Amino acid sequence: MSVTNTPKSSSQSQVRQSWRKSALATVILAAVMLLLFAAKFSAAAPQFILSAPLPPDMLFNFAGWLGGVPWVFNLIHSLPFGLDLFAKYVLFAVVFGVYLGFWLILGTFYPRLARLWNYWATDAAYGLFGVLLTGFVLLPIQPLGLGIFGLSPNNFQYPPLPSIAWALALSLLFAASLHLVFRTKQVVYNDKRRQSLRLFVGAVGLIGFASVFGRLLLGTVSRAQTAVSNIYQRIRGLSPELTPTADHYVVSKNVFSPSVPARNWQLRISGLVNNNLSFTLDDLKALPAVERSSALICISNPVGGDLIGNSVWTGVKLKDLLNLAGVRPEANELILRAADNYSDSFPLDAALQEGTIVAYLQNGEPLTRDHGFPARVLVPGIYGMKNVKWVREIELSNQDYKGYWQARGWSDSAIIRTMSRIDTATATRLEDGSVAIGGIAYAGLRGVQRVEISVDNGLSWQDAQLKPARNELSWNLWAFNWQAEPGNYNVLVRATDGGGATQSAEQRRPLPDGATGYHKLKVRVI
């Protein structure tokens, strides 16, 4: 039976019916959107999908922006848990749920709306839904200072036309599903619902399985490639000195890394300079290149965490670009802005270091999308958050600037703290009967002078072997060799920086200026 000749049954069952039909249309919408989201994670998807500004992306950005509003910020930080890296996925799921929930409710009112219009304009109602939702999604972006509907030209992340087009297209998809569902016979409805559900669950399962399986496979291959010869190479489980790109941690505020095609990318140097300059990727590549390894560590890396990597990066010295632009004497700060509307700042002094580069290669290959393609800034000695990816503008300033994470309570200076980590939960037994463990240590620009190990829960400390770093920007590997019976040992590690300061033993969370405390690990000797 179709909506137009529904007999006057109890209004309760009518509501229940339209609720279920709306739910079916919402499931269809959710399935299509999940496929779009899955495509955004893959490198093979077409550009228009990779960079598609979907309504939940915008809502997510809005929710993220709210996190920087003082009272919301205070509320969040009064909660017993910190805003860890997992939080963004939870937030995204909530926002996606809100988006779908809005549709679900709107869809439930569909038959009433149709009756209100005496059915002649039922189809026109789809359009109305589309417009309503588009407004619902885009309006909240306005207070971001990004222009009405988020359509200011400085809003890199959401270019106006695709934003509107995608929001409308998804609205119309839902309206079309409603149309289909409400006109469908009741008997067919149940089967269809089961079918769609099966499809939906199947798609989610398949995507989940493929990504987990792919990850496992990649991990096994890269571990197997680690050769075995000297002590550092013989310790099973020790990090390689250079982190392959696929194993390098990825952190960003986004759920989906922005996809920035090189052909319409430029790096602009502006503000307190004599000449505003713009560089294309080819312009950058034509300038003298420097190649050096360096460690990158996220300020939210917990003690013992793996948000640290040490890759070879190639690019142009930022100093060279600044010299071309001619920095005015008043300037003392750089503000960096990126294609995902991320921004951060660091002092001019840090920018003028030899090691500070605008990088376009990681381990000899063009940057991947996740690591900032086409180009990113690397600034040694300062936590990862100031190493802006997808960078599009560098403005010279003499004003203190609060970057994306500073507005959310994280440190402004963000100087890297001395850290050390045990990589090996199982010790490697060597031919002479001794066992060996190993790990990494890093102290930013201060360098690591010494690493000590305790195998008795901190009662006594012994020096570990320290492998010299590849250069002053890279991390150190360490190895520790001792005679041990099989069993479990509580092992602790601590590093001392080039200035003679040993890392702090006090256990502190990463917020606001980096975790402190010794890494402690139960190591199995077999």
Residues of this chain that interact with ligand MTE (CB under 6 A) are: 248-254, 296, 298, 338, 340, 342, 371, 384-385, 387-390
**Residues ≥6 apart with Cβ < 8 Å to 361:** 291, 312, 313, 314, 315, 367
Residue 296 binds what, of Mo ion, ligand MTE, none (CB under 5 to 8 Å, by partner type)?
ligand MTE
Q: Smaller CB distance to ligand MTE: residue 136 or 404? A: 404
Strands 357-362 and 308-317: antiparallel
Minimum separation from the CB atom of position 335 to ligand MTE (A): 13
Q: Smaller CB distance to ligand MTE: residue 254 or 345? A: 254
**HSE-CB of 20 using CA atoms within 13 angstroms:** 14
Minimum separation from the CB atom of position 300 to ligand MTE (A): 7
Q: DSSP character for 200?
A: H
Q: Smaller CB distance to Mo ion: residue 284 or 298? A: 298
Q: What type of residue is 130? A: G
Q: Report how far residue 185's alpha carbon sits from residue 181's, in angstroms, rounded to the nearest whole number.
A: 8
Q: In sequence order, what E strands does 339-447 have?
A: 343-347, 357-362, 365-366, 376-378, 391-397, 419-422, 428-429, 435-442
Q: Report how far residue 298's alpha carbon sits from residue 387's, in angstroms, rounded to the nearest whole number.
A: 10
Residue 196 binds what, of ligand MTE, Mo ion, none (CB under 5 to 8 Å, by partner type)?
none
Q: Smaller CB distance to Mo ion: residue 385 or 427? A: 385
Minimum separation from the CB atom of position 383 to ligand MTE (A): 7
Residue 249 binds what, of ligand MTE, Mo ion, none (CB under 5 to 8 Å, by partner type)?
ligand MTE
Q: Report how far residue 109's alpha carbon sits from residue 14's, in angstroms, rounded to the nearest whole number.
A: 11
Residue 22 binds what, of ligand MTE, Mo ion, none (CB under 5 to 8 Å, by partner type)?
none
* Residue with smallest beta-carbon separation from ligand MTE: 384
Which tokens in the block code for residue 435? Answer: 């066992």
Q: Report how far residue 369's alpha carbon sits from residue 363's, in angstroms, rounded to the nearest whole number.
A: 14
Q: Smaller CB distance to ligand MTE: residue 357 or 491? A: 357
Provide the CA 243 distance to its chain's centre, in angstroms. Answer: 18
Residue 51 binds what, of ligand MTE, Mo ion, none (CB under 5 to 8 Å, by partner type)?
none
Q: Which of 336, 252, 297 is nearest to 445 (CA)?
A: 297
Minimum separation from the CB atom of position 336 to ligand MTE (A): 8
**Residues ≥6 apart with Cβ < 8 Å to 101:** none
Minimum separation from the CB atom of position 239 to Mo ion (A): 19
Minimum separation from the CB atom of position 388 to Mo ion (A): 11
Minimum separation from the CB atom of position 229 to ligand MTE (A): 29
Helix axes 87-108, 160-182, angle to 10 degrees: 50
Q: Smaller CB distance to Mo ion: residue 325 or 385? A: 385
List residues near Mo ion by CB under 5 A: 251, 298, 384-385
Q: Smaller CB distance to ligand MTE: residue 51 or 196? A: 51
* Residue with smallest beta-carbon separation from Mo ion: 298
